[in-house]
Amino acid sequence: MKSLYLIGFMGSGKTSIAERLHQKLGWEVEDTDQLIEEWYQTTIPTIFKEKGELVFRQYETTVLLKTTRKNTIISTGGGIIEKESNREWLKEQGNVVFLSASWEEINQRLIHDQNRPIWNNQDRDKKKLLADRLPLYREIADIVVETDGKTEHEIAEEIMNRLFV
Ligand code: S3P
């Protein structure tokens, strides 16, 4: 079967839902941030610090195109939808699941986060970034799952029911 791509803003639960789906489907999980760190042998914060966001976005596209197309759950970075070419590519793959969380929920989840350069950049208006990105997530999503107030189990079940039944 075609792979399943999880998209959504930072802190929307992509990594934990990927793990849940792995338990249910038995498919391997790939994570674009992890692939970047493995492929380029460095960390995401270091890339942002030393090379900047533009280079990070190039790396992100490179690894996105290397993701496995079949029987794999792929968790993507929150900004993957910023590039039109990434959106086009994801749309072609299909099985794109948008995990939609509210600003309040995202804030709660990321309150202690120190690993996300954009989230931790005080000069960035993250609330506006979420609002700007929302239509882009929606544009390429095959299904949109509202995650507020739902358990990981419920979210994973909803994805399975809507995609595979
Ligand atoms: C980013 C989200 C991060 C990571 C990088 C940039 C973004 O991934 O790719 O820090 O632009 O929203 P998560 O969505 O997994 O936090």
Residue 35, ligand 1, Cβ within 6 A: no
Look up residue 16 and give its amino acid.
Answer: S
Q: CB–CB of 91/142 below 8 Å?
A: no
39 phi and psi, to 5 degrees?
-65, -40
pTM: 0.98
In this structure, the residue with its CA closest to atom 16 of ligand 1 is: 10
What separation in Å is there between the alpha carbon of 149 and the centre of ligand 1?
23
pLDDT in tens, 20-73: 999 999 999 999 999 999 999 999 999 999 999 999 999 999 999 999 999 999
What separation in Å is there between the alpha carbon of 116 and the centre of ligand 1?
6
